[in-house]
Protein backbone atom coordinates (compact mmCIF):
# COMPACT_ATOMS: atom_id res chain seq x y z
CA UNK A 1 0.00 0.00 0.00
CA UNK A 2 2.80 2.42 0.87
CA UNK A 3 4.62 1.66 -2.39
CA UNK A 4 1.42 2.18 -4.39
CA UNK A 5 0.78 5.54 -2.72
CA UNK A 6 4.37 6.66 -3.35
CA UNK A 7 4.15 5.60 -6.99
CA UNK A 8 0.96 7.62 -7.55
CA UNK A 9 2.54 10.65 -5.90
CA UNK A 10 5.69 10.25 -7.95
CA UNK A 11 3.65 10.22 -11.17
CA UNK A 12 2.31 13.63 -10.15
CA UNK A 13 5.67 15.37 -10.69
CA UNK A 14 4.75 16.67 -14.15
CA UNK A 15 1.38 17.87 -12.87
CA UNK A 16 3.03 19.72 -9.99
CA UNK A 17 5.59 21.27 -12.34
CA UNK A 18 2.83 22.40 -14.69
CA UNK A 19 0.87 23.95 -11.82
CA UNK A 20 3.97 25.73 -10.51
CA UNK A 21 4.74 27.24 -13.92
CA UNK A 22 1.18 28.54 -14.19
CA UNK A 23 1.39 29.93 -10.65
CA UNK A 24 4.68 31.69 -11.44
CA UNK A 25 3.33 33.36 -14.59
CA UNK A 26 1.92 36.37 -12.64
CA UNK A 27 5.22 36.65 -10.76
CA UNK A 28 7.13 36.82 -14.04
CA UNK A 29 4.74 39.45 -15.40
CA UNK A 30 5.00 41.53 -12.23
CA UNK A 31 8.80 41.26 -12.21
CA UNK A 32 9.02 42.43 -15.79
CA UNK A 33 6.74 45.41 -15.20
CA UNK A 34 8.56 46.36 -11.99
CA UNK A 35 11.92 46.24 -13.74
CA UNK A 36 10.62 48.46 -16.54
CA UNK A 37 9.27 51.07 -14.13
CA UNK A 38 12.41 51.08 -12.01
CA UNK A 39 14.57 51.61 -15.11
CA UNK A 40 12.65 54.83 -15.65
CA UNK A 41 12.98 55.91 -12.03
CA UNK A 42 15.38 58.74 -11.07
CA UNK A 43 15.81 57.47 -7.52
CA UNK A 44 19.18 56.34 -6.19
CA UNK A 45 19.33 52.55 -6.05
CA UNK A 46 16.71 52.07 -8.75
CA UNK A 47 19.16 50.30 -11.14
CA UNK A 48 20.06 47.85 -8.36
CA UNK A 49 16.40 47.07 -7.67
CA UNK A 50 15.58 46.87 -11.38
CA UNK A 51 18.36 44.32 -11.90
CA UNK A 52 16.88 42.16 -9.15
CA UNK A 53 13.44 42.23 -10.75
CA UNK A 54 14.94 41.48 -14.17
CA UNK A 55 16.75 38.47 -12.78
CA UNK A 56 13.54 37.26 -11.12
CA UNK A 57 11.72 37.66 -14.43
CA UNK A 58 14.32 35.52 -16.20
CA UNK A 59 14.08 32.82 -13.53
CA UNK A 60 10.28 32.59 -13.49
CA UNK A 61 9.22 33.23 -17.11
CA UNK A 62 8.19 30.59 -19.60
CA UNK A 63 10.58 29.91 -22.48
CA UNK A 64 8.56 29.11 -25.60
CA UNK A 65 10.04 27.67 -28.77
CA UNK A 66 12.23 30.40 -30.31
CA UNK A 67 11.95 31.34 -33.95
CA UNK A 68 14.78 30.90 -36.43
CA UNK A 69 14.54 34.64 -37.02
CA UNK A 70 16.30 34.42 -40.37
CA UNK A 71 14.61 36.78 -42.81
CA UNK A 72 17.57 37.19 -45.16
CA UNK A 73 21.20 36.29 -45.82
CA UNK A 74 23.87 37.91 -47.95
CA UNK A 75 25.50 36.41 -51.06
CA UNK A 76 28.28 38.39 -52.71
CA UNK A 77 26.92 41.55 -51.17
CA UNK A 78 23.39 40.92 -52.39
CA UNK A 79 20.53 40.37 -49.93
CA UNK A 80 18.74 37.03 -50.36
CA UNK A 81 15.29 36.79 -48.81
CA UNK A 82 14.48 33.66 -46.78
CA UNK A 83 11.05 32.19 -46.15
CA UNK A 84 10.30 29.10 -44.05
CA UNK A 85 8.17 26.61 -45.97
CA UNK A 86 6.86 23.31 -44.61
CA UNK A 87 7.39 20.81 -47.42
CA UNK A 88 6.49 17.61 -45.55
CA UNK A 89 4.53 17.33 -42.29
CA UNK A 90 3.73 14.42 -40.01
CA UNK A 91 2.28 14.51 -36.49
CA UNK A 92 5.85 14.24 -35.17
CA UNK A 93 7.98 16.41 -37.45
CA UNK A 94 7.94 19.17 -40.04
CA UNK A 95 10.49 19.23 -42.83
CA UNK A 96 11.16 22.95 -43.17
CA UNK A 97 12.75 24.50 -46.23
CA UNK A 98 14.49 27.87 -46.09
CA UNK A 99 13.30 28.96 -49.48
CA UNK A 100 15.36 31.74 -51.06
CA UNK A 101 14.03 34.51 -53.22
CA UNK A 102 16.20 36.85 -55.31
CA UNK A 103 16.13 38.72 -58.63
CA UNK A 104 15.80 36.45 -61.65
CA UNK A 105 19.48 36.45 -62.61
CA UNK A 106 20.53 35.48 -59.10
CA UNK A 107 17.65 33.02 -58.64
CA UNK A 108 18.98 30.80 -61.42
CA UNK A 109 22.27 30.51 -59.53
CA UNK A 110 20.46 29.71 -56.28
CA UNK A 111 18.37 27.00 -57.90
CA UNK A 112 21.50 25.18 -59.10
CA UNK A 113 23.12 25.09 -55.67
CA UNK A 114 23.42 21.93 -53.51
CA UNK A 115 20.45 20.63 -51.58
CA UNK A 116 21.24 20.01 -47.88
CA UNK A 117 19.19 18.07 -45.34
CA UNK A 118 20.12 19.28 -41.85
CA UNK A 119 19.08 16.66 -39.30
CA UNK A 120 18.37 18.49 -36.06
CA UNK A 121 18.61 16.58 -32.79
CA UNK A 122 15.54 15.36 -30.95
CA UNK A 123 17.20 15.45 -27.55
CA UNK A 124 15.66 18.26 -25.57
CA UNK A 125 16.13 21.47 -27.53
CA UNK A 126 14.32 22.72 -30.60
CA UNK A 127 15.71 22.73 -34.13
CA UNK A 128 16.33 26.47 -33.74
CA UNK A 129 19.49 25.49 -31.86
CA UNK A 130 21.00 25.05 -35.34
CA UNK A 131 20.31 28.66 -36.34
CA UNK A 132 24.03 29.38 -36.88
CA UNK A 133 24.32 26.41 -39.24
CA UNK A 134 21.29 27.49 -41.26
CA UNK A 135 22.62 31.05 -41.46
CA UNK A 136 26.00 29.81 -42.67
CA UNK A 137 24.60 27.32 -45.19
CA UNK A 138 21.72 29.32 -46.66
CA UNK A 139 23.66 31.72 -48.96
CA UNK A 140 25.04 28.87 -51.08
CA UNK A 141 22.79 25.89 -50.30
CA UNK A 142 19.14 24.91 -50.51
CA UNK A 143 18.59 24.09 -46.83
CA UNK A 144 16.00 21.75 -45.30
CA UNK A 145 15.73 21.16 -41.53
CA UNK A 146 13.95 18.49 -39.49
CA UNK A 147 11.82 20.48 -37.04
CA UNK A 148 10.66 17.95 -34.44
CA UNK A 149 7.37 18.56 -32.62
CA UNK A 150 7.17 18.89 -28.84
CA UNK A 151 5.62 15.56 -27.74
CA UNK A 152 3.21 17.25 -25.32
CA UNK A 153 1.62 18.84 -28.39
CA UNK A 154 0.99 15.48 -30.10
CA UNK A 155 -2.36 13.77 -29.33
CA UNK A 156 -2.20 10.17 -28.18
CA UNK A 157 -4.28 9.04 -31.15
CA UNK A 158 -1.39 10.07 -33.46
CA UNK A 159 0.21 6.77 -32.39
CA UNK A 160 3.55 5.81 -30.94
CA UNK A 161 6.91 7.19 -31.98
CA UNK A 162 10.04 5.12 -31.52
CA UNK A 163 13.59 5.01 -32.82
CA UNK A 164 12.51 3.07 -35.93
CA UNK A 165 9.96 5.80 -36.63
CA UNK A 166 12.75 8.38 -36.41
CA UNK A 167 14.74 6.46 -39.03
CA UNK A 168 11.59 6.13 -41.17
CA UNK A 169 11.18 9.91 -41.11
CA UNK A 170 14.75 10.48 -42.29
CA UNK A 171 14.34 7.89 -45.05
CA UNK A 172 11.11 9.54 -46.21
CA UNK A 173 12.70 12.99 -46.20
CA UNK A 174 15.77 11.80 -48.12
CA UNK A 175 13.63 10.10 -50.75
CA UNK A 176 11.37 13.14 -51.03
CA UNK A 177 14.36 15.41 -51.66
CA UNK A 178 16.08 12.97 -54.02
CA UNK A 179 18.62 11.02 -52.00
CA UNK A 180 21.16 10.65 -54.82
CA UNK A 181 21.64 14.41 -55.20
CA UNK A 182 21.42 15.23 -51.52
CA UNK A 183 23.93 16.26 -48.86
CA UNK A 184 23.10 15.24 -45.28
CA UNK A 185 24.38 16.78 -42.07
CA UNK A 186 23.43 15.15 -38.76
CA UNK A 187 24.18 17.02 -35.55
CA UNK A 188 24.58 15.13 -32.27
CA UNK A 189 21.84 12.57 -31.54
CA UNK A 190 20.69 12.02 -35.18
CA UNK A 191 24.16 10.85 -36.21
CA UNK A 192 23.09 7.28 -35.39
CA UNK A 193 19.71 7.24 -37.19
CA UNK A 194 21.14 9.22 -40.12
CA UNK A 195 23.94 6.70 -40.63
CA UNK A 196 21.34 3.97 -40.21
CA UNK A 197 19.07 5.51 -42.85
CA UNK A 198 21.87 5.91 -45.40
CA UNK A 199 22.98 2.32 -44.70
CA UNK A 200 19.46 1.05 -45.38
CA UNK A 201 19.31 2.99 -48.66
CA UNK A 202 22.62 1.43 -49.73
CA UNK A 203 21.55 -2.10 -48.76
CA UNK A 204 18.33 -1.67 -50.75
CA UNK A 205 20.28 -0.55 -53.84
CA UNK A 206 18.79 2.96 -53.70
CA UNK A 207 20.83 6.10 -54.42
CA UNK A 208 22.64 7.38 -51.34
CA UNK A 209 23.50 11.01 -50.49
CA UNK A 210 26.60 12.47 -52.08
CA UNK A 211 27.97 13.44 -48.68
CA UNK A 212 27.18 12.58 -45.08
CA UNK A 213 28.51 14.72 -42.24
CA UNK A 214 28.20 13.33 -38.70
CA UNK A 215 28.85 15.88 -35.95
CA UNK A 216 29.29 15.05 -32.26
CA UNK A 217 27.13 11.93 -32.38
CA UNK A 218 27.37 8.73 -30.27
CA UNK A 219 28.14 6.22 -33.02
CA UNK A 220 30.11 4.12 -30.52
CA UNK A 221 29.55 5.19 -26.92
CA UNK A 222 32.08 2.66 -25.64
CA UNK A 223 34.91 5.00 -26.63
CA UNK A 224 35.99 7.64 -24.11
CA UNK A 225 32.73 7.38 -22.14
CA UNK A 226 31.41 10.63 -20.66
CA UNK A 227 28.99 11.18 -17.77
CA UNK A 228 26.15 10.77 -20.27
CA UNK A 229 27.42 7.34 -21.30
CA UNK A 230 28.10 6.25 -17.74
CA UNK A 231 24.59 7.21 -16.63
CA UNK A 232 23.16 4.94 -19.32
CA UNK A 233 25.36 1.96 -18.53
CA UNK A 234 25.15 2.19 -14.74
CA UNK A 235 21.34 1.93 -14.63
CA UNK A 236 18.95 -0.63 -16.10
CA UNK A 237 16.41 0.56 -18.63
CA UNK A 238 13.69 0.20 -16.00
CA UNK A 239 15.39 2.93 -13.93
CA UNK A 240 14.95 5.43 -16.78
CA UNK A 241 11.32 4.43 -17.25
CA UNK A 242 10.54 4.64 -13.53
CA UNK A 243 12.34 7.93 -12.88
CA UNK A 244 12.23 9.96 -16.08
CA UNK A 245 9.01 9.05 -17.87
CA UNK A 246 5.71 10.81 -17.04
CA UNK A 247 2.31 11.22 -18.68
CA UNK A 248 1.52 14.63 -20.14
CA UNK A 249 -0.99 16.36 -17.82
CA UNK A 250 -4.29 17.95 -18.77
CA UNK A 251 -4.11 21.30 -20.48
CA UNK A 252 -1.94 20.08 -23.37
CA UNK A 253 -2.97 18.42 -26.68
CA UNK A 254 -0.82 15.40 -25.84
CA UNK A 255 -2.52 14.67 -22.52
CA UNK A 256 -1.82 11.08 -21.51
CA UNK A 257 1.15 10.57 -23.87
CA UNK A 258 4.17 9.18 -22.02
CA UNK A 259 7.16 11.50 -22.35
CA UNK A 260 10.56 12.38 -21.00
CA UNK A 261 9.62 15.95 -19.97
CA UNK A 262 11.65 18.89 -21.16
CA UNK A 263 11.95 20.38 -17.68
CA UNK A 264 13.71 17.22 -16.45
CA UNK A 265 16.04 17.33 -19.44
CA UNK A 266 16.88 20.95 -18.68
CA UNK A 267 17.63 20.01 -15.08
CA UNK A 268 20.04 17.36 -16.37
CA UNK A 269 21.71 19.84 -18.73
CA UNK A 270 22.23 22.39 -15.95
CA UNK A 271 23.46 19.80 -13.46
CA UNK A 272 26.37 18.94 -15.74
CA UNK A 273 27.85 22.43 -15.23
CA UNK A 274 26.00 24.12 -12.35
CA UNK A 275 28.83 26.51 -11.48
CA UNK A 276 28.98 27.82 -15.04
CA UNK A 277 25.27 28.61 -15.05
CA UNK A 278 25.33 30.19 -11.58
CA UNK A 279 28.21 32.44 -12.61
CA UNK A 280 26.43 33.33 -15.84
CA UNK A 281 23.29 34.48 -14.02
CA UNK A 282 25.37 36.37 -11.46
CA UNK A 283 27.22 38.14 -14.27
CA UNK A 284 23.88 38.96 -15.89
CA UNK A 285 22.64 40.57 -12.65
CA UNK A 286 25.83 42.63 -12.35
CA UNK A 287 25.62 43.64 -16.01
CA UNK A 288 22.07 44.88 -15.52
CA UNK A 289 23.15 46.88 -12.48
CA UNK A 290 26.09 48.49 -14.28
CA UNK A 291 24.22 49.05 -17.54
CA UNK A 292 26.29 46.64 -19.68
CA UNK A 293 23.47 46.15 -22.14
CA UNK A 294 25.36 44.25 -24.83
CA UNK A 295 26.63 41.59 -22.42
CA UNK A 296 23.21 41.27 -20.78
CA UNK A 297 21.53 40.91 -24.18
CA UNK A 298 23.97 38.14 -25.15
CA UNK A 299 23.05 36.29 -21.95
CA UNK A 300 19.35 36.66 -22.74
CA UNK A 301 19.76 35.40 -26.30
CA UNK A 302 21.66 32.32 -25.14
CA UNK A 303 19.25 31.37 -22.35
CA UNK A 304 16.15 32.11 -24.41
CA UNK A 305 17.36 29.22 -26.57
CA UNK A 306 18.92 27.05 -23.86
CA UNK A 307 15.89 27.15 -21.54
CA UNK A 308 13.41 26.41 -24.35
CA UNK A 309 13.04 22.64 -24.21
CA UNK A 310 10.60 20.09 -25.57
CA UNK A 311 9.22 16.77 -24.35
CA UNK A 312 10.41 13.58 -26.03
CA UNK A 313 8.14 10.62 -26.66
CA UNK A 314 8.96 7.97 -24.05
CA UNK A 315 9.18 5.09 -26.55
CA UNK A 316 11.71 6.97 -28.65
CA UNK A 317 13.73 8.03 -25.60
CA UNK A 318 13.84 4.57 -23.99
CA UNK A 319 14.67 2.83 -27.26
CA UNK A 320 17.51 5.31 -27.88
CA UNK A 321 18.92 4.67 -24.41
CA UNK A 322 18.77 0.92 -24.95
CA UNK A 323 19.91 0.64 -28.58
CA UNK A 324 22.49 3.45 -28.70
CA UNK A 325 23.81 3.86 -25.16
CA UNK A 326 23.42 0.43 -23.60
CA UNK A 327 23.64 -2.13 -26.40
CA UNK A 328 25.85 -0.08 -28.76
CA UNK A 329 23.92 -1.95 -31.45
CA UNK A 330 25.12 0.09 -34.45
CA UNK A 331 28.80 -0.18 -33.51
CA UNK A 332 28.44 -3.92 -32.80
CA UNK A 333 26.67 -4.65 -36.08
CA UNK A 334 23.57 -5.77 -34.21
CA UNK A 335 21.03 -3.08 -35.10
CA UNK A 336 17.94 -3.79 -37.19
CA UNK A 337 15.23 -1.34 -38.23
CA UNK A 338 11.84 -2.86 -39.07
CA UNK A 339 13.61 -6.21 -39.30
CA UNK A 340 16.23 -4.95 -41.78
CA UNK A 341 19.87 -5.16 -40.72
CA UNK A 342 21.74 -1.85 -40.64
CA UNK A 343 25.03 -2.42 -42.51
CA UNK A 344 27.20 0.74 -42.81
CA UNK A 345 29.66 -1.31 -44.87
CA UNK A 346 27.08 -1.34 -47.69
CA UNK A 347 27.62 2.38 -48.31
CA UNK A 348 29.82 2.93 -51.37
CA UNK A 349 29.05 6.24 -53.06
CA UNK A 350 28.77 8.66 -50.14
CA UNK A 351 31.70 10.74 -48.91
CA UNK A 352 31.75 10.86 -45.11
CA UNK A 353 33.10 13.51 -42.77
CA UNK A 354 33.00 13.07 -38.99
CA UNK A 355 33.38 16.09 -36.72
CA UNK A 356 34.25 16.06 -33.03
CA UNK A 357 35.00 18.80 -30.53
CA UNK A 358 38.26 18.35 -28.66
CA UNK A 359 36.59 19.69 -25.49
CA UNK A 360 33.27 17.86 -25.89
CA UNK A 361 32.07 16.55 -22.51
CA UNK A 362 28.87 15.00 -23.90
CA UNK A 363 30.12 12.90 -26.83
CA UNK A 364 33.57 11.54 -26.00
CA UNK A 365 36.63 11.45 -28.24
CA UNK A 366 36.40 8.84 -30.98
CA UNK A 367 32.67 8.16 -30.60
CA UNK A 368 31.76 9.92 -33.86
CA UNK A 369 34.95 9.08 -35.75
CA UNK A 370 34.04 5.40 -35.20
CA UNK A 371 31.65 5.74 -38.14
CA UNK A 372 34.59 5.83 -40.55
CA UNK A 373 35.68 2.35 -39.43
CA UNK A 374 32.15 0.99 -39.85
CA UNK A 375 31.83 2.35 -43.42
CA UNK A 376 34.25 -0.16 -44.93
CA UNK A 377 32.85 0.21 -48.45
CA UNK A 378 33.67 3.92 -48.73
CA UNK A 379 37.11 4.58 -50.28
CA UNK A 380 39.67 6.05 -47.87
CA UNK A 381 39.92 9.16 -50.05
CA UNK A 382 36.26 9.88 -49.31
CA UNK A 383 36.51 9.53 -45.53
CA UNK A 384 37.83 12.17 -43.17
CA UNK A 385 37.87 12.81 -39.41
CA UNK A 386 37.97 16.41 -38.17
CA UNK A 387 38.66 17.18 -34.50
CA UNK A 388 38.04 20.85 -33.76
CA UNK A 389 40.47 22.31 -31.22
CA UNK A 390 38.93 24.33 -28.43
CA UNK A 391 35.37 23.23 -29.25
CA UNK A 392 32.91 21.83 -26.75
CA UNK A 393 29.73 20.06 -27.78
CA UNK A 394 27.78 23.16 -28.80
CA UNK A 395 30.84 24.80 -30.33
CA UNK A 396 30.95 22.34 -33.22
CA UNK A 397 27.69 23.72 -34.67
CA UNK A 398 27.42 27.28 -33.37
CA UNK A 399 29.62 30.23 -32.50
CA UNK A 400 32.87 31.67 -33.76
CA UNK A 401 34.88 28.44 -33.96
CA UNK A 402 32.15 26.77 -35.99
CA UNK A 403 31.98 29.67 -38.42
CA UNK A 404 35.74 30.05 -38.79
CA UNK A 405 37.05 26.48 -38.58
CA UNK A 406 34.32 23.93 -39.17
CA UNK A 407 31.91 25.47 -41.66
CA UNK A 408 34.62 26.05 -44.31
CA UNK A 409 35.32 22.30 -44.20
CA UNK A 410 31.63 21.45 -44.67
CA UNK A 411 31.31 23.96 -47.49
CA UNK A 412 34.35 22.61 -49.33
CA UNK A 413 33.22 18.98 -48.95
CA UNK A 414 29.75 19.71 -50.32
CA UNK A 415 31.08 21.81 -53.19
CA UNK A 416 33.61 19.19 -54.23
CA UNK A 417 31.12 16.33 -54.35
CA UNK A 418 28.30 18.41 -55.75
CA UNK A 419 30.46 19.08 -58.80
Lowest-confidence range among 44-48, 207-211, 328-332, 346-350? 44-48
Is a pLDDT exceeding 60 seen at residue 2?
no
Q: What is the mean pLDDT of residues 272-299?
A: 91
Ranges for all domains in the chain classified under CATH 3.40.50.1820? 72-120+133-231+312-418
Q: What would the CATH number be for the domain defined by 72-120+133-231+312-418?
A: 3.40.50.1820
Mean pLDDT of 180-195: 97
pTM over cut 0.95: no
Average pLDDT of the chain to the nearest whole number? 93
Q: Walk across the sheet containing 93-101 and list its strands.
A: 72-75, 78-89, 93-101, 142-148, 115-119, 182-187, 211-215, 351-357, 383-388
pLDDT of residue 103: 83
Residue 308 to residues 25, 64, 65, 302: CA-CA distances in angstroms?
16, 6, 6, 10
Q: Band of the pLDDT at 10, cuts 50, 70, 90?
A: low
pLDDT at 39 over 90: no
Gap between the Cα atoms of 183 and 192, Å rounded = 16
Q: Confidence band (pLDDT; 50, 70, 90) for 74?
A: confident
What is the tens place of the pLDDT at every residue in 363-387? Answer: 999 999 999 999 999 999 999 999 9
Is residue 5 scored above 80 in pLDDT?
Answer: no
What are 329-349's pLDDT values in tens digits?
A: 999 999 999 999 999 999 999
pLDDT higher than 90, residue 270: no
How confident is the model at residue 133, as a pLDDT? 96
CA angle, 322 then 328 then 330, to 5°: 110
Asked if residues 260 and 311 have their Cβ atoms less than 8 Å apart, the reply is yes
The pLDDT > 90 percentage for the chain reads 82
Amino acid sequence: MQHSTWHRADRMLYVLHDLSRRALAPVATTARASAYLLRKSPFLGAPFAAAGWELLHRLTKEYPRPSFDLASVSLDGESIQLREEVVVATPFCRLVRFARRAPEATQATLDAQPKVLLCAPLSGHHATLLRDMVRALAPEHDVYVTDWIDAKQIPVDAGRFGLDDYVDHLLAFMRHLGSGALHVIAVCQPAVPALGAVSLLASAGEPTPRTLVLMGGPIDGRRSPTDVNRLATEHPLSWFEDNLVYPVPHGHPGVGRRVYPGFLQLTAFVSMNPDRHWKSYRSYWLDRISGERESAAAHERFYDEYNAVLDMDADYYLETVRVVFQEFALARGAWSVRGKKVVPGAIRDTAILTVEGAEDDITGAGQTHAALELCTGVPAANKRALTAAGCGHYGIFSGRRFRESIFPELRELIARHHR
